[in-house]
């Protein structure tokens, strides 16, 4: 699990340090994943928490929502995102229907909903998180994160290792004499 600290979280969310601390600690609107250990120590945030903070900023700034009454919605979203892969969210929108009712739907130009809802396109938020957490974008992966990331190999050191290992094999194959 990758964490970012408070300074990076402020850059990714657009919140000031004071507001971030208020939302994640004092008011516990969207709690930090790793609370600060003491005064002056930074908190730790996963990409899910940063995504929720970005959604909260959008709801506050663009739609003028009062966020505190929606604390249980944010807790429900956080629990749901814990079981969702980062790559699986690409091309999806977050549908908020009220109370704790939410869902993720494929992005379409005009989704047909049977009821009123707030629709939040996740693409711009995921692009920012992809850069901030060094996570893959939709074209970089086939739906799963790499278990072992690829590393470059220096060919000159590979030749030395290969020569050394062949010498070891030859030495190992020579029978040794026992003294009586």
DSSP state for residue 139 in the 8-state scheme? T
SS3 of 68-124:
HHHHHHHHHHHHHHCCCCCHHHCCEEEEEEECCEEEEEECCCCCCCCCCCEEEECHH
Tokens of 87: 């790559």
Tokens of 74: 């944010």
pLDDT at 160: 47
Strand partners, 34: 44
Cα distance between the two ends of the chain: 60
Q: How far apart are CA 35 and CA 41, in angstroms?
A: 9
Tokens of 58: 């959008």
Q: With contact defined as beta carbons under 8 Å apart, do 28 and 35 qualify?
A: no
Q: How far apart are CA 34 and CA 112, in angstroms?
A: 39
Show pLDDT as tens, one digit a residue, over the chain (180 residues). Answer: 789 999 999 999 999 999 999 999 989 999 999 988 888 788 999 999 999 999 999 999 999 999 999 999 999 999 999 988 888 899 899 999 888 889 898 876 555 677 888 889 999 999 998 888 887 776 654 555 555 555 556 555 445 444 545 555 555 555 556 665
Closest CA to 71 of 35, 16, 28, 9: 28
């Amino acid at each position: 699990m990758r964490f970012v600290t408070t300074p990076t979280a402020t850059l990714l969310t657009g919140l000031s340090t004071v507001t971030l601390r208020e939302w994640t600690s004092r008011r516990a609107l969207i709690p930090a994943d790793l609370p600060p250990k003491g005064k002056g120590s930074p908190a730790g945030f996963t990409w899910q928490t940063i995504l929720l903070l970005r959604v909260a900023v959008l709801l506050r700034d663009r739609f003028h929502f009062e966020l505190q009454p929606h604390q249980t919605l944010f807790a429900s979203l956080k629990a749901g995102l814990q079981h969702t892969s980062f790559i699986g969210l690409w091309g999806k929108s977050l549908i908020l229907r009220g109370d704790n009712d939410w869902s993720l739907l494929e992005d379409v130009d005009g989704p047909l909903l049977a009821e009123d809802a707030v629709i939040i396109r996740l693409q711009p938020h995921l692009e920012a998180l992809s850069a901030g957490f060094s996570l893959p974008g939709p074209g970089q992966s086939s739906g799963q994160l790499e278990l072992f990331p690829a590393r470059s190999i220096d060919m000159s050191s590979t030749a030395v290792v290969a020569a050394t290992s062949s010498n070891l094999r030859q030495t190992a194959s020579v029978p040794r004499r026992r003294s009586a």
